[in-house]
Structure 1
Amino acid sequence: MSDVARILVLNCGSSSLKYQLFDGDKVVDKGTVERIGEPGGGPADHAAALRLMAERVDLTGLGGVGHRVVHGGVRFAEPTLITDQVVAEIERLVPLAPLHNPANLTGIAQARRLLPGVPQVAVFDTAFHRTLPPEQASYAIDADTAQRYGIRRYGFHGTSHAYVSRRAAALLGRAPADVDVITLHLGNGASACAVAGGRSVATSMGLSPLEGLVMGTRSGDLDPAVVFHLERVAGWSTADVDRLLNQRSGLVGLTGAGDMREVLRRRADGDPAARLAFDIYCARIRFYVGGYHALLGRVDAIVFTAGVGENAAPVRAAALAGLDRIGVQVDARRNDEGRGERMISPDGRPVQVWVVPTDEEYEIASQTRAVLTDG
């Protein structure tokens, strides 16, 4: 392969295109093209959005393009050089990620047309979790049905969990293979992950990003009978329930506001709905932290990342409150002060608590470069 220092990372959504250009480890350009295909002056389609990006960004000497792809199913356990066959296999996974994979595929198709001589790599959100053991990946339903329809735990936010768990090991001064950590990616979407020796062994999201922690608009864990109850009693359709659980639940369902900053503001003003939403949100995190601690047997660090995890000190404090007996404690002053990478637990605790800003684009660029270099 030619020199791969310059890597373009593309994250293509249904109506947006985010990009970052790396030269080695340095970001030399980045931006977002929004309102793709929407009325009011946005680019007509993703092809136009990519052409607009190419006008803004110096793509000379480009060594490769790394694409974020949300769902890799069981087929893709690592970043993969994109070929026509790979594209076809990603298309077959669309039923598992109908809101995400089509947009990712559109970005791949248009980037291959725009940059026909540049190798391109798919980096999958699910790939980091392909190391889940069977007892964590499997649901207790009819095995033939699960096999036929691909029903299992896939997990998501894999590039974020991979990046921050590896950074945590570096901050502890140890190799990833020697460290067990719990990573908490808390953004509009949220997930927890138990990482043993650099490998994901449990994660809160499942077949889809709906399962697990409370999120901005998603319910997280829920008794499946709620679905049947709404169908029988309220006459709701599958689409009605889908909209409820994915768009009208979580923080927005409990308070009308899906942004944790607004929830915290209302909580400080004494709003009972905001207090309840905050308590539910933090209790769910604490439940997973305790369970993953038991699963791992030993935890070296707990890491908060993403928008809420990096910026909401009250969430970090409340989510780990009452875990002193298992060696987990947050130092109030450290938690409330500072920005960027920092330890927020007292000195000398057996479990260090860290805030580590995630960098999924850097992770995608690194994985892309590794594929092209090894190739």
Structure 2
Amino acid sequence: MKILSKNLIKLRDIKTFKFKKAMINYQHVEIVNHFMKKPLILVINCGSSSLKFSLMDPKTGEESLNGIAQCLLSDNANISFKVNGEKQVLALLPPFDHNTAIVELVNFITKNNLFEQITAIGHRVVHGGEKYHQPTLITPQVKNEIAKLAKLAPLHNPANLVGIEATEKVFSHLLQVAIFDTAFHQTMPEKAYIYGLPYNLYQEHGIRRYGFHGTSHYFVTQRASSLLQKPLEQCNFISAHLGNGCSISAIVNGKSVDTSLGFTPLEGVVMGTRSGDIDPSIIFYLVEQLGYSLDQVNTLLNKESGLLGISGISNDCRTIEEQLLAGNKRAKLAIDVFCYRIAKKIASFSASLDNLDGLIFTGGIGENSNTIRSLILNQLSLLGFKANEQLNEEIRFGKQGNINDTTSRPCWVIPTNEEWVIAEQTQHLLINKGM
């Protein structure tokens, strides 16, 4: 135990944030883990200008800490921590980047005596291509593959890689695991992911439908299976993850067989700022007839369209709903288009199913907007859905449960927890590999 104590003392001494691999080997990690009362997984979700984090018990989903560093590399950079329901926000002087955000996170973790409880780090990585369909131990080779896949997710994978490399500098003694958003959808059959393009574009360049929000769809389908008290491998669902980004997935026997997002997160239904499906010829028209550059088209479709573009007000559904109640016609149009496209996509997935156990709403809008849910369900009566308006209004803001009428197919609101999936799958990987 004296050796163990010395190692823990060294772990706490991180003022310089420089760790030597000789400080602690994996045998010592196992000794520390053995004596810990509550081993925790640090979950990192890194964006281009943000870094979300959560320190979580992978068995229960209980969070010891969560927070976000945002507006990185700007004058407004700040980092917030939430512990035991209390939030602390620190405004920091620039330059404040991902590396300094990690340093501040480690400092906070250490001050709260949580450092030695961390057993591993789980990273959300958006695009894993066809190669990565399971939780993956991060190695130099895996990092190279994530970098190569950046051509398929230029806004996400480079940022995810920054988060990985920043944590490696500080947590050099811990194993790091990548959980890929695309992994859950690798069970789609070829007929669902091949585009109507020359087949060699898929063979040589990987141009196919991949799907995203996989950890969210995975989590809520497991919860729906529990609510049904039916084995997951016997369950068929349609899952609607609705937020600033939206995706609909068809689940057969617990596995994804189709999803609305495609080669990138631009395909599919109308979203907060993304157009979703459009006639591809519109792009040629914008360039050839209206003088748009390709960069301008990219910005238009990804950042200026969707709810924002149609309403001319905001990409925030709450703001648009307020304007809807105030009689704003563009707000009504935006909501109508949004709900119709989602209902149409849900109905189209009946082609993937022999039977349907129920519909799941999740994501920021799906969990909280009873208005959006009601408008969608009203357009799905042919599939046997009907909302119980009282339940629909009550089940919001973190609540879980049925919102369907007694004559309807089951329909649930299930708050997603992607961080828990990442923590749980990280732990499972380490256990399976005997680490």
- The TM-score range, normalised by the shorter chain, is over 0.9
**2:365 and 2:69 mapped to 1: Cα distance?**
24
8 Å Cα contact 2:395-2:403 kept in structure 1: no
**2:317 and 2:353 mapped to 1: Cα distance?**
30
Secondary structure of 1:302's aligned partner: strand
Secondary structure of 1:234's aligned partner: coil
Runs (4+) of structure 1 exceeding 4 A deviation are none
Deviations 1:47-76 (A, max 9, x none): 111000001112213111000000001110
8 Å Cα contact 1:304-1:310 kept in structure 2: yes
Match of 1:287 among 316, 333, 344: 344
**1:294 and 1:97 mapped to 2: Cα distance?**
29
User: What residue in structure 1 maps to residue 212 of structure 2?
Assistant: 156
Is 1:22 matched with 2:67? no
User: What residue in structure 2 maps to residue 13 of structure 1?
Assistant: 47
Give the deviation of 1:117 after TM superposition.
1.2
Give the deviation of 1:323 after TM superposition.
2.4
Structure 1 window deviating more from structure 2 (289-298 vs 307-316): it is 289-298
**2:384 and 2:304 mapped to 1: Cα distance?**
37
User: What residue in structure 2 maps to residue 79 of structure 1?
Assistant: 135
**1:84 and 1:94 mapped to 2: Cα distance?**
16
Q: TM-score, normalised by structure 2?
A: 0.84
Deviations 1:107-155 (A, max 9, x none): 1011111111111100000000011100001001011123222110010
Amino acid at match of 2:278: L
Compare relative contact order (CA 8 Å, sep 6+) and give the higher one, 1 or 2. Answer: 1
Is 1:89 matched with 2:145? yes
Seen in structure 2, the aligned counterparts of structure 1 residues 43 and 331 have a Cα distance that, compared at 3 Å, is farther
**2:95 and 2:376 mapped to 1: Cα distance?**
42
Structure 1 window deviating more from structure 2 (197-206 vs 31-40): it is 31-40
8 Å Cα contact 1:35-1:42 kept in structure 2: no
Secondary structure of 1:292's aligned partner: helix
**2:416 and 2:94 mapped to 1: Cα distance?**
29
Give the deviation of 1:333 after TM superposition.
1.2
User: What residue in structure 2 maps to residue 276 of structure 1?
Assistant: 333
Deviations 1:177-235 (A, max 9, x none): 11100100000000100011111000000000001011110000111000011111012
User: What residue in structure 1 maps to residue 362 of structure 2?
Assistant: 305
8 Å Cα contact 2:386-2:407 kept in structure 1: no
State, as a whole percentage, how many aligned pairs show the same letter.
42
Is 1:52 matched with 2:110? no
Is 1:331 matched with 2:383? no
User: What residue in structure 1 maps to residue 419 of structure 2?
Assistant: 361
**1:338 and 1:354 mapped to 2: Cα distance?**
9
User: What residue in structure 1 maps to residue 158 of structure 2?
Assistant: 102
8 Å Cα contact 2:49-2:71 kept in structure 1: yes
User: What residue in structure 2 maps to residue 218 of structure 1?
Assistant: 274
Seen in structure 2, the aligned counterparts of structure 1 residues 315 and 100 have a Cα distance that, compared at 3 Å, is same
**1:178 and 1:5 mapped to 2: Cα distance?**
33
Give the deviation of 1:43 after TM superposition.
5.5
Give the deviation of 1:37 after TM superposition.
1.6
Give the deviation of 1:337 after TM superposition.
1.5
- Size of the aligned set, in residue pairs, is 374
Is 1:189 matched with 2:225? no
Unaligned 5+ runs, structure 2: 1-25, 77-92
Question: Which of the two has higher C-alpha Rg?
Answer: 2
Q: TM-score, normalised by structure 1?
A: 0.97
Unaligned 5+ runs, structure 1: none
Give the deviation of 1:326 after TM superposition.
2.2
Is 1:35 matched with 2:54? no
Give the deviation of 1:45 after TM superposition.
1.9
Amino acid at match of 2:52: K
Give the deviation of 1:42 after TM superposition.
4.8
